[in-house]
Amino acid sequence: MDLGIKKIISGLVKDPSKVITIADAWITASNPTKPQKELAEARWNICIQCPEFRAKRDITGDPYCNDCGCPLQKKIFSKTFNECPLGKWREVDEALWPSTQKNKKTIL
Ligand code: SF4
């Protein structure tokens, strides 16, 4: 089994609440708001310069994080503040994450 997928499964066994976080990121990635897209792009720019970045998973061919095993094209849409396992998203999340928390259906 691919090492990245093994990491995801062992992480879910240790912390089943992550299932909701991961599912939410996948849903957000399918139809992001403009602020969510901007935050994801900023996170992506950090990931591609990170030593833990892997461009192609053996089985699925998608980019993933070698530290947590997560698929990065989905993880970057996480609604959790600074979800990066090494805390590398903190600076961009401090700048952009708050705007993703606004309800897009309000006028304020
Ligand atoms: S999520 Fe964090 S540790 Fe993983 S590749 Fe991105 S910046 Fe690196």
The full set of domain ranges for the chain reads 3-100
| pTM of the complete model | 0.85
Distances (CA, A) of 64 to 86, 95, 96: 14, 24, 22
**Model pLDDT, residue 3:** 65
The interaxial angle of helices 90-100 and 34-47, nearest 10 deg, is: 170
Q: How far is the CA of 34 from the centre of ligand 1 (A)?
A: 22
Tens digit of each residue's pLDDT (9 = 90 or more) over 61-86: 999 999 988 899 999 999 999 999 99
Q: Looking at ligand 1, which atom is closest to the CA of residue 86?
A: 3
pLDDT at 103: 62
Percent of the chain residues past pLDDT 90, beyond the cut: 63
* pLDDT tens track for 6-27: 777 777 666 777 788 888 899 9
Task: Please tell me whether residue 17 adopts helix, strand or coil conformation.
Answer: coil
- DSSP sequence for 32-72: --HHHHHHHHHHHHHHTTSTTEES--TTT---EETTT--BH
Q: What distance in angstroms lies between residue 106's CA and the mean position of ligand 1's atoms?
A: 33
